[in-house]
């Protein structure tokens, strides 16, 4: 036989190109070297949390690097015991039978029968069980590659070199506080890539934002230079279908440049940036206004005029808030608007706003929705409003009459807070906020922000 087994393996890799296989292996070897891995010791990557983006991220890595089994091990953790309801099982069965490649794969793995039984109601499937076959409970219509699923958190993370945080921000602190117990004996700290878009508000000693990377740092003691944020204007299912997309990985230079290269693919371009916290906060801010956009779309029967009026006012509020949070806000305008645009088009937060306005969901159902996962914008509405309503952050009212809290100059944020958090208002009131004849030209709000020394570094926990 001519050639080695390794050469033959590379020549038969999934993309059919020996050149591409060599390029991928070189990128993997570079990251392994930087992390300090030796021959025979695989790079261990684990995704914590199996929502849509966390599952897709793990599947992308598995599809790309899973062929190099001796050099990298890719796993995903999710909690056990989450049952798949009968309606979802029936839909899952339809998806399987509509895809010949998936059908053949399940038959080869002797896994098809359990989906037949679930369809008939003779068996209960569980979320961790179907994830092993490549089905994410929050994204049933997009079959993924089979994944190595671990349901024991300690087993998943104790020796991981790279941990991907795919958890909602509302669950990040709790899970990573548990993880801290498993890392007490570690000599070297892992690299953590957070995909989470959400924030919390803290009012003491001064009002400030807490982001998922900060939660992880405080919960685990992992140095902040080892924690990065990855975000961009993309929809998880479309990325897995190889729609062209881009993202930024933000954090310390030592890791972000190597990871950007490692994660970059022809259809998924990853850039790197040093501004970790601000990009992370912007990822949470767009979810706030996406909920309102969904409400407006539903209440006006998709009126292009109404949606554009809303867009003008919501973007002016976002620009206003960005000037409070960033020293150089103009650098964030493009990423923020792009992320906002894709979320308004197809994001779960806009969908949630639509369903509330149509009466197909109600606020008593909470913000974790079957088949969609956590609606991060709800908690973000509460956090941003609580922060920006603090008198210590007051700015001069446009008419020059008196100082007011920044939230008073953000009528959409204020209305969303009263709809979603205090429930003083109904979804219809979002239209009233738009139609208020006393509402200032959105340009005025932008000019106010640009013409004053608005920047409040304390909001991001900076001196």
Please measure the distance between the N-terminal and C-terminal CA atoms of the chain and give it in whole angstroms.
67
Residue 306 has pLDDT above 80, yes or no: yes
pTM of the model: 0.91
CB crowding 301-333: b at 16 or more within 10 Å, else e: eeeeebeebbbebbbbbbbbbbbbbbeebeebe
- Token pair, residue 362, equals 């109600």
What is the structure's pLDDT at 442? Answer: 84
What is the structure's pLDDT at 436? Answer: 78
Residue 342 has pLDDT above 80, yes or no: yes
The fraction of the chain above a pLDDT of 70, given in percent, is 95
Confidence of residue 82 (pLDDT cuts 50, 70, 90): very high
Residue 7 has pLDDT above 80, yes or no: no
Confidence of residue 10 (pLDDT cuts 50, 70, 90): very low
CA dihedral over 49, 52, 53, 57, signed as positive or negative: positive
Distance, CA of 146 to CA of 153 (rounded, Å): 20
- Token pair, residue 421, equals 């958090």
pLDDT in tens, 15-66: 446 658 899 999 999 999 999 999 999 999 999 999 999 999 999 999 999 9
Nearest alpha carbon to residue 269 among 235, 246, 249, 241: 246
Cross-strand pairs, 45:
74, 162
As a whole number, mean pLDDT of residues 262-286 equals: 92
pLDDT in tens, 248-260: 999 999 999 999 9
Location of structure tokens 């429930």: 423
Report the C-alpha dihedral over residues 134, 136, 139, 140, rounded to 10 degrees: 60
What is the structure's pLDDT at 437? Answer: 76
pLDDT in tens, 446-457: 888 887 777 888
Cα angle, residue 126 at apex, residues 122 and 129 outer, rounded to 5°: 110
What is the structure's pLDDT at 15? Answer: 45
Instruction: Give residue 273's region: left, alpha or beta (phi > 0; psi -120 to 50).
Output: beta
Confidence of residue 6 (pLDDT cuts 50, 70, 90): very low
Nearest alpha carbon to residue 240 among 41, 54, 70: 54
Residues assigned a catalytic role:
286
Nearest alpha carbon to residue 266 among 64, 84, 460, 125: 64
What is the structure's pLDDT at 456? Answer: 86
What is the structure's pLDDT at 18? Answer: 63
Task: Show Cβ contacts of residue 438 under 8 Å, excluding neighbours closer than 6 positions.
Answer: none
């Amino acid at each position: 036989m001519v050639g080695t087994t390794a050469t033959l393996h590379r020549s038969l890799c999934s993309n059919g190109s020996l050149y591409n296989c060599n390029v991928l292996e070189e990128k993997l070897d570079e990251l392994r070297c930087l992390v300090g891995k030796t021959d025979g010791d695989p790079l261990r990557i684990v995704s914590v949390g199996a929502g849509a983006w966390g599952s897709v991220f793990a599947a992308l890595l598995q599809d790309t690097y899973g062929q190099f089994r001796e050099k990298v091990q890719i796993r995903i953790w999710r909690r056990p015991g989450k049952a798949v309801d009968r309606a979802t099982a029936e839909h899952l069965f339809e998806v399987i039978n509509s895809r010949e490649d998936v059908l053949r794969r399940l038959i080869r793995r002797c896994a098809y029968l359990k989906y037949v039984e679930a369809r008939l109601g003779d068996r209960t499937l569980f979320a961790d069980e179907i994830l092993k076959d490549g089905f994410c409970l929050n994204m049933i219509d997009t079959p993924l590659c089979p994944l190595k699923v671990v349901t024991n958190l300690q087993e998943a993370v104790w020796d991981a070199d790279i941990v991907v945080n795919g958890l909602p921000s509302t669950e990040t602190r709790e899970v990573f506080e548990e993880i801290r117990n498993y890392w007490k004996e570690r000599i070297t700290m892992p690299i953590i890539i957070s995909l989470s878009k959400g924030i919390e508000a803290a009012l003491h000693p001064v009002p400030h934002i807490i982001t998922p990377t900060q939660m992880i740092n405080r919960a685990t003691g992992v140095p902040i230079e080892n924690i990065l944020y990855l975000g961009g204007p993309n929809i998880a299912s479309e990325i897995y279908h190889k729609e062209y997309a881009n993202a930024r990985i933000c954090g310390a230079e030592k890791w972000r440049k190597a990871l950007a290269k490692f994660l970059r693919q022809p259809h998924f371009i990853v850039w790197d940036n040093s501004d970790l916290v601000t990009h992370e906060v912007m990822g949470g801010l767009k979810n706030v206004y996406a909920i309102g956009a969904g409400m407006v779309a539903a209440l006006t029967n998709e009126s292009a005029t109404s949606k554009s009026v809303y867009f003008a006012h919501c973007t002016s509020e976002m620009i206003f808030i960005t000037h409070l949070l960033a020293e150089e806000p103009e650098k964030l305008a493009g990423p923020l608007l792009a992320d906002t645009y894709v979320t308004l088009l197809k994001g779960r937060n806009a969908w949630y706003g639509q369903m509330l306005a149509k009466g197909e969901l109600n606020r008593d159902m909470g913000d974790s929705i079957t088949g969609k996962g956590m609606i991060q914008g709800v908690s973000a509405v509460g956090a941003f409003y609580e922060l920006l309503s603090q008198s210590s952050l007051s700015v001069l009212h446009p008419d020059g009459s008196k100082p007011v809290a920044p939230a008073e100059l953000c009528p959409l944020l204020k209305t969303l807070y009263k709809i979603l958090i205090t429930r003083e208002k109904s979804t219809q009131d979002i239209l009233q906020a738009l139609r208020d004849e006393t509402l200032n030209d959105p340009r005025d709000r932008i000019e106010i922000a640009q013409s004053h020394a608005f920047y409040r570094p304390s909001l991001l926990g900076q001196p």
